[in-house]
Chains A and B, each alone.
Chain A
């Protein structure tokens, strides 16, 4: 299991590739990856930048717990969660989650679970910088997203 916060630019594909090197070739048949990337628009407005605040200690602990839950719930080889913190620009990746399993069903389900739980439980807050002013991003339920 790898869980990390990235204070500087995050390359999700390099993260997935590097972590996959630690797994035995031939042991997995499926790799499901989700990458969340910052848009330059949100709720009908142009967004110029964003600050990702977190709760040092609690954020890492909750990401680790979510990853452990996924490993316990599905038959997986491993999971990966890396999330940006700090100042971020449109077009930059915010988060990558990945799950490795023998068959695709479990990898897909685990990858979806990691993102769903991260979005509802992990203490992160986004503050968007607009052309005029700033605003905290409002929580959205999965149905609203």
Chain B
């Protein structure tokens, strides 16, 4: 996918380039604890424009901004809401952890 995207970028400078539809990505979203209950589901598949951030994915799932203390993980690693998503990413939102 990355290679193809690069080719489209090169061709778009060419006057004779064929206009292709904007690239979209698919991400698998996981929600836990109070955020799962708030959104009403634990898993969702979202189609987003290429370059979309985790915060933009949240805006598709729920009314209102991401709650202040929300933790964000992409592919099971902590990150932040500004993280730019890639096709096939597993994105998770959850409240502060309370184990132990």
Contact = CB atoms under 8 A, between A and B. Distances in A.
Contact of A55 (B32, B34, B69, B96): B32
A75 to B, nearest CB: 25
A136 B100 CA distance: 14
19 contacts: A53-B32, A53-B33, A55-B32, A55-B73, A55-B94, A61-B76, A94-B99, A121-B97, A123-B94, A123-B97, A123-B99, A124-B97, A124-B100, A125-B95, A126-B98, A126-B99, A127-B33, A136-B98, A139-B98
Given A55-B94, A139-B98, 20 more contacts: A53-B32, A54-B99, A58-B92, A61-B76, A83-B99, A83-B100, A118-B99, A119-B100, A120-B97, A121-B97, A122-B99, A123-B97, A123-B99, A125-B33, A125-B34, A125-B99, A126-B98, A126-B99, A136-B34, A136-B95
Interface in B66-100: 69, 71, 73, 76, 78, 92, 94-100
Contacts, number: 69
A58 B34 contact: no
B98 A95 contact: no
Interface of A: 36, 52-55, 57-58, 61, 83, 94-95, 115, 118-127, 136-140
A95 B97 contact: no
Chain B interface residue number, banded: 10 to 19
Contacts of A53: 32-33
**Residue in B71, B94, B97, B99 with the greatest tally of chain A CB atoms within 10 Å:** B99
Interface of B: 30, 32-34, 69, 71, 73, 76, 78, 92, 94-100
Nearest to A54: B99
Interface of A is mostly: mixed
